[in-house]
A and B are shown apart, each in its own frame.
Chain A
């Protein structure tokens, strides 16, 4: 097992429930796709070439190179629960967690989980920086500094016309993906969320659920990201998110919250207090169910309609109730029925009842 023991007890910094607009914006993320010159892209590399890339990047990041204090996790010989754990913490993608076992790949995780670098995912390097709340500038400055230092030591595949060359042409150019994780329970309750999705699509933005892969966003947590990476600078894109996209969605969600509080106070309180009641008394809880209840509880706290719990605890529970986290805390594999019981008991404990 990888030395992740302590971190399972708390959430990464980005989930701490602080930062600008944290009542709606859970976190901001910036990701860069980079490839090394001289090698084919990952999908067309031999096993040896992949191993070469891995070795070279590890060397440059750690002892002989930048000397960064990163946790280097070789995903080839990594326990499946640990891989799932890293995925639940958004440090690696699902693809990276589940790729076939013979595929040399790794992740380097920075202090406090504020950044991670996936090696041999779809691209040789996928660098990401996460910040809590709305902090696009801070996230971009941090990732840009990481990128500059790596570029001093590694030859990136780059062309003047197409910019940073990526395995998928949808990522070419800046290679940047800016995402924001939003909690939009009121838009969901009022049925307005579909309009947000349509508006986002018109702006060439992708909207996805933060947890799970289905069509529904579990826990009313949404991830909005750009899809255009060619012909638009990093700055333009960040400004668009910071000054246009996100403020509009925030305003829309605020309106929906106020409307609910004004026009349907009884139904609203019912959702909130039912969530509290179930969470503090249930003996068996499923993943989707817990996320939905936590979502309503979070809304209640943000609207000042319930004071029994704070936002940080709720944010942490979003993460700690995920299957791999439960199993890591238990220290063993748990089958689904046992997980549901463990989940309910963890929630009761954390909510202090």
Chain B
């Protein structure tokens, strides 16, 4: 249904909320009356993350046998499942990118205007950083495991090792 202008019988096309003395006052005006008042139009709000959420939903509603398979994808790095990612729109660790790559790629392509590969800044140390990243991940994982088992001796040793490894980075 169409709302009529507050001041005449034409259909209202401009809607606004003004605040006067802390009181909200709604206004609904036609083009003409709105122009006379110099009035504002309210605006739709699009949160940044909605973009991804929409794409993820679109993708998952595609159904078919492929969907089930994708839900069972698990990241070997952090144990996140692809369906958990779909719920939160957040990945769990750097390895998620490689372990989910086939399912993730089409989503990312759409979210990034067709962008599929990184263009731009490259870390100065990128040359050997992949091996380093894997080594660091392994050490950190062992540390986490040691602490959860309350093996503090091993944990202390691993902390030292990580410290040395990180210092040697520069």
List the interface of chain A (C-beta within 8 A of B): 35, 37-41, 43-44, 46, 48-49, 56, 122, 144, 147-148, 151-153, 155-165, 167-170, 172-174, 176, 188-191, 193-194, 197, 201, 204, 206-209, 214-217, 225, 227-236, 260, 264, 267-268, 271, 284, 286, 288-289, 292, 340
Given the known interface contacts A38-B133, A44-B80, the answer about A170 and B52 at a Cβ–Cβ threshold of 8 Å is yes
Chain B interface main SS type: loop
A162 surroundings in chain B (CB, below 8 A): 97, 108, 117-118
Q: Kindly report which residue of chain B lies nearest to residue A217, judged by CB atoms.
A: B43
CB proximity of A312 to chain B, nearest CB, Å: 25
A14 vs chain B, min Cβ distance (A): 21
In the complex, which of the residues A153, A164, A215, A288 contacts B170, with contact meaning CB atoms closer than 8 Å? Answer: A153
Known: A41-B91, A165-B97, A232-B120. A155 touches B169 (CB 8 A): yes
Please report the C-alpha to C-alpha distance between residue A152 and residue B123 in the assembled complex, in whole angstroms.
Answer: 9
Are A169 and B91 in contact, CB atoms less than 8 angstroms apart? Answer: yes
Complex contact A230–B117 (CB within 8 A): yes
Chain B: CB-nearest residue to A209: B45
A169 touches B111 (CB 8 A): yes
A340 in complex: contacting residue of B22, B104, B130, CB < 8 Å = B22
Nearest Cβ in chain A — how far from B95, in angstroms? Answer: 9
- Mark contacts of B117-152 with chain A using CB atoms, 8 A cut-off: 1 yes-contact digit, 0 otherwise: 111111111100110110011011000100100000
Q: Are B115 and A173 in contact (CB under 8 A)?
A: yes
Q: Please report the C-alpha to C-alpha distance between residue A268 and residue B36 in the assembled complex, in whole angstroms.
A: 11
Q: Which B residues from 73 to 128 make CB contacts under 8 A with A?
A: 77-78, 80, 88-94, 97-98, 104, 107-108, 111-126
- Tell me if B91 and A167 are in contact (CB < 8 A): yes
Q: Identify the interface centre among B39, B47, B118: most chain A CB within 10 Å of its CB.
A: B118
Task: Give the chain A neighbours of B154 by CB distance below 8 A.
Answer: none
Instruction: Say yes or no: A197-B126 contact (C-beta < 8 A), given A190-B38, A230-B116, A284-B22.
Output: no
**Stretch with Cβ within 8 A of A (4 or more), from B3-11, B12-20, B63-71:** B12-20
Does B58 make an interface contact (CB < 8 A)?
A: no
Majority SS at the chain A contact face: mixed
Task: Digitize B11-52: 1 where CB-to-A-CB distance is under 8 Å, 0 elsewhere.
Answer: 000100111111000000000001011111111111111011
B14, B43, B108, B147: the one within 8 Å of A48 (CB): B147
Which chain A residues border B88 with CB–CB below 8 Å?
43
Interchain nearest-CB distance for B55 vs A (Å): 9
What is the bound-complex CA distance between A37 and B131, given in angstroms?
A: 11
Closest B residue to A167 by beta carbon equals: B90
Nearest-CB distance from B87 to chain A (Å)?
12
Given contacts A41-B90, A215-B44, contact A151 B115 (CB under 8 A): no
Closest to B147 in A: A48
| Docked-complex contact B108 and A172, CB < 8 angstroms | yes
**B78 to chain A: which residues have CB within 8 Å?**
40, 44
* B91 with A234: CB separation less than 8 A: no
Known: A40-B92, A49-B144. A158 touches B123 (CB 8 A): yes
Q: Could you say which residues of chain A place their CB within 8 Å of the CB of B22?
A: 284, 286, 289, 340
The answer, yes or no, to whether B166 is at the interface (CB within 8 Å) is yes
Residues of A within 8 A of B107 (CB): 169
9 contacts between A and B (CB under 8 A): A49-B140, A153-B170, A159-B97, A165-B94, A231-B115, A231-B118, A233-B119, A267-B37, A284-B21
- CB–CB A159/B98 < 8 A: yes
Distance, CA A174 to CA B119, complexed state (A):
7
